[in-house]
Structure 1
Amino acid sequence: MLGMLGILRKTYTVELCPEVHGRISKDGTPIENLLIERSLTYADEEYSDNCLTNADGEFHFDKKSIKSRLPGNIFHEPVVRQVIEFTLSNHKEETYIWATNQHDISCPEICKLHLRNLVSDISNEEQVYELANVEAPAYPLIIRALCALK
């Protein structure tokens, strides 16, 4: 019985979001001082932060991970919601630079690749992409994004 209790107490590192680098422009012109918000959710854990774009329209978020016992529960399905967005002063709704759900406690490599270089132009329309998830093929990544993904 003590062995089972040890398993229940084990904590796992849940990667909510890797490091993010992005750039926002309008018709190719960088947008300075735009508030970019990041919201990350895992089970009942929520984390949010924000930053302002610099003179070149660039923004950055550090990697974010948490410790959790939930992945050790056989009834728990790990899902991490990642949202990076902004709201323009003349719009009522937020615009998603990036929004997806990852179905694992580790961020898929394809997400890490795109999150290193999120280049968005607000003149474009948001798109919905379905990307292959090599690490978990049963869970393709559905991403709503303003940036162009390949």
Structure 2
Amino acid sequence: MRISNVWRKPLPLLAAALSFLVFIVFSQQVNADMFSWFKKYDVHLSPAVHGRVLLNGQPLTGAVVSRELNYDKEYVDKTTTDANGYFSFVEKNIRSSKPGSLEELRTRQVVVVHHQQKPYLLWYLTTSSIEPQQAVVQRLAALNCELSDEEKEHVFPNIEKPEFPHSTFSICRWAD
């Protein structure tokens, strides 16, 4: 009878120790999740942009081109076309805590050229990706734009997620 009493006393102690261990493990996970909104993430807003603007086949010189990027706030860059109608913008990345939140944000990319006080849409795209997307990188590396072309929707494959094709609006054209 004495032997069986010896084994009964450690069981509540063992159960308490195991419960404490489980509590510690789960509370660490809760802390990590609870404070993840403090963590900063790399967010890719836009790849480098290279393009050329023509008007009736001739280079459009000195036209203002603007790039507006929206994620958690608006980022605006401006440049002008050179003597041959070319323009470019550098790649744009930021650090943000927004990807750690429950809120789903989308990146909006808009590139517009202004000619005779009229805007012409060279690129409009929204995406939920915070990583570079190959098909977008390829198209923004070669914007071939003719102001006399109609603005239209272009649907093209999403290499990273084929089930979700990209869709952009633009007066520019690509050899597909």
- Same fold per TM (> 0.5)? yes
Which secondary structure does the structure 1 equivalent of 2:172 belong to? coil
Is 1:116 aligned to 2:141, yes or no? yes
Whole-Å Cα distance in 2 between the matches of residues 4 and 80 of structure 1?
Answer: 24
User: Which of 85, 103, 128 is the matching residue for 2:128?
Assistant: 103
* Cα displacement (A) at 1:6: 4.7
Unaligned ranges ≥5, structure 1: none
Q: Quick check: 1:78–1:105 contact (8 Å CA) kept in 2?
A: no
Is 1:148 aligned to 2:173, yes or no? yes
TM-score (norm 2): 0.77
Whole-Å Cα distance in 1 between the matches of residues 51 and 86 of structure 2?
Answer: 6
Is 1:62 aligned to 2:90, yes or no? yes
Larger radius of gyration: 2
Q: Tell me how many residue pairs correspond in the alignment.
A: 146
Query: Which segments of structure 1 move beyond 6 Å, counting only runs of 4 or more?
Result: none
Q: Quick check: 1:16–1:105 contact (8 Å CA) kept in 2?
A: yes
User: Which of 49, 73, 76 is the matching residue for 1:20?
Assistant: 49
User: Which of 38, 52, 60 is the matching residue for 2:67?
Assistant: 38
Which secondary structure does the structure 2 equivalent of 1:87 belong to? strand
Deviation per residue, 1:106-129 (Å, 9 max, x gap)? 131100001111111112111211
Unaligned ranges ≥5, structure 2: 1-29
Whole-Å Cα distance in 2 between the matches of residues 129 and 103 of structure 1?
Answer: 18
**Structure 1 or 2: more strand by fraction:** 1
Q: Quick check: 1:19–1:62 contact (8 Å CA) kept in 2?
A: yes
Whole-Å Cα distance in 1 between the matches of residues 169 and 31 of structure 2?
Answer: 45
Whole-Å Cα distance in 2 between the matches of residues 103 and 3 of structure 1?
Answer: 24
Q: Which residue of 2 aligns with 1:127?
A: 152
* Cα displacement (A) at 1:139: 3.1
For the aligned residue pairs, the C-alpha RMSD in angstroms reads: 1.6
- Identity level (%): 29
**Structure with the larger RCO, 1 or 2 (CA within 8 Å, 6+ apart):** 1
